[in-house]
């Protein structure tokens, strides 16, 4: 097993790091306070190829491997987790699903502008009652012959207010249960499609999270992804890959908080010396470093298996479960290391602590990841 990054991967990592410091760092506290979407930065992310990193160049993507994607995600999330989740959703949930499962016509019409960063997309699975349970969809898509009538509500949709195209999961035949679910590409502006209120969130406040309402929205048959009843399998496959993106976001939050804490500990003096010389602080930093490295290896393994075409349900869930816990633990300790300064916005770590919590919730809670993992190991 080779743990060394290729020259190209190192270049991608450095480009993402430079971009994050040049385009995201300034104004990140203001965006968090005012819940401002990073419009200009997201546009530049698209121009740099960060919104369609793994998509084939013939569809407007950068054609890179999953490790490169993970590296870029970590660097972006170190500075601004809100921008990172925009990037994650567009790459892992929207572009990946359309490229793998959509028709050639759908790819040319929708994937090209999404992967090139001309527009961004959203993935609409969660509902008020079902959460991320794809088997319990209340949103319906009634087959009307040459089109479907889409009705229902989706909640907590990232990019909901700024997306142009939405991948929507809906129930067509309740009697068939999960085999009666379909996935559709829905365009913003279609009659009957309304974007609801923006959520006022604890963290990732720079990203836009909205509810979506569908009232007799006519969805052409050609906008269904895959065969009739393929929606559940589509959602499961997309979520597996999505967990790598969320794990990478969690890793970036943790690594960013650690780097700030290490810098602060080397500069802050107490009892006659820099606080890094006190074991109480040094041991915290050592634990943070070890846990971040362990999370990184789990994520790299899942990303490598994805590129090899292996089933990543277990490795992706493991990476997401562990990295999100590391993000939470690390940011809490980062605030503690900074002391009173850690509790004020100027030093960034309080925002990182708030941002970290969502990584334990979206793409399935920690409990859901444990269900996925336990089912996988029970078959061995």
Kindly list the catalytic residues.
Answer: 363
What are the DSSP calls for 48-111, one per residue?
A: TTTTSTTS-GGGT-----HHHHHHHHHHHHHH-HHHHHHHHIIIIIIIHHHHHHS-HHHIIIII
* Contact yes or no for 39/206 (Cβ under 8 A): no
Q: How far apart are CA 52 and CA 328, in angstroms?
A: 28
State whether residue 208 is helix, strand or coil.
coil
Q: How far apart are CA 166 and CA 211, in angstroms?
A: 12
User: What phi, psi does 342 have (nearest 5°)?
Assistant: -70, -15
* Contact yes or no for 192/239 (Cβ under 8 A): no
Q: How far apart are CA 62 and CA 97, in angstroms?
A: 16
Those residues whose C-beta lies under 8 Å from the C-beta of residue 171, and which sit 6 or more positions away, are: 137, 138, 139, 140, 141, 180, 181, 182
Angle formed at CA 60 by CA 57 and CA 66, multiple of 5 degrees: 60
State whether residue 44 is helix, strand or coil.
helix
């Amino acid at each position: 097993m080779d743990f060394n990054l290729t020259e190209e991967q190192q270049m991608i990592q450095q480009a993402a790091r430079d971009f994050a410091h040049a385009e995201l760092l300034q104004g990140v506290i203001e965006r968090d306070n005012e819940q401002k979407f990073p419009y200009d930065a997201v546009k530049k992310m698209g121009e740099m190829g960060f919104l369609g990193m793994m998509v084939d160049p013939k569809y407007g993507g950068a054609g890179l491997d999953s490790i490169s994607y993970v590296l870029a995600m970590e660097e972006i999330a170190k500075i601004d987790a809100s921008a990172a989740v925009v990037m994650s959703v567009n790459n892992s949930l929207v572009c990946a699903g359309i490229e793998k499962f959509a028709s050639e016509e759908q790819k040319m019409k929708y994937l090209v502008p999404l992967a090139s960063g001309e527009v961004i997309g959203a993935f609409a699975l969660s509902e008020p009652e079902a959460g991320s349970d794809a088997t319990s969809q209340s949103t319906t898509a009634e087959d009307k012959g040459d089109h479907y009538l889409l009705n229902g509500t989706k909640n907590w949709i990232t990019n909901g207010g700024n997306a142009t195209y939405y991948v929507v999961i809906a129930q067509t035949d309740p009697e068939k249960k999960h085999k009666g679910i379909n996935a559709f590409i829905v365009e913003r502006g279609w009659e009957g499609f309304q974007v609801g209120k923006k959520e006022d969130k604890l963290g990732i406040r720079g990203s836009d999270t909205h509810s979506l309402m569908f009232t007799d929205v006519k969805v052409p048959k050609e906008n269904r992804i895959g065969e009739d009843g393929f929606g559940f399998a589509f959602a499961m496959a997309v979520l597996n890959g999505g967990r790598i993106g969320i794990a990478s976001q969690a890793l970036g939050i943790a690594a960013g908080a650690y780097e700030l804490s290490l810098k602060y500990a080397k500069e802050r003096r107490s009892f006659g010396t820099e606080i890094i010389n006190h074991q109480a602080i040094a041991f915290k930093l050592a634990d943070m470093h070890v846990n971040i490295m362990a999370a990184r290896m789990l994520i790299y393994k899942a990303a490598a298996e994805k590129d090899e075409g292996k089933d990543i349900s277990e490795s992706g869930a493991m990476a997401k479960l562990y990295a999100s816990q590391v993000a939470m633990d690390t940011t809490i300790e980062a605030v503690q290391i900074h002391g009173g300064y850690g509790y004020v916005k100027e030093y960034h770590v309080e925002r990182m602590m708030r941002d970290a919590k969502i990584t334990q919730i979206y793409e399935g809670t920690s409990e859901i990841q444990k269900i996925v993992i336990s089912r996988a190991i029970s078959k061995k």
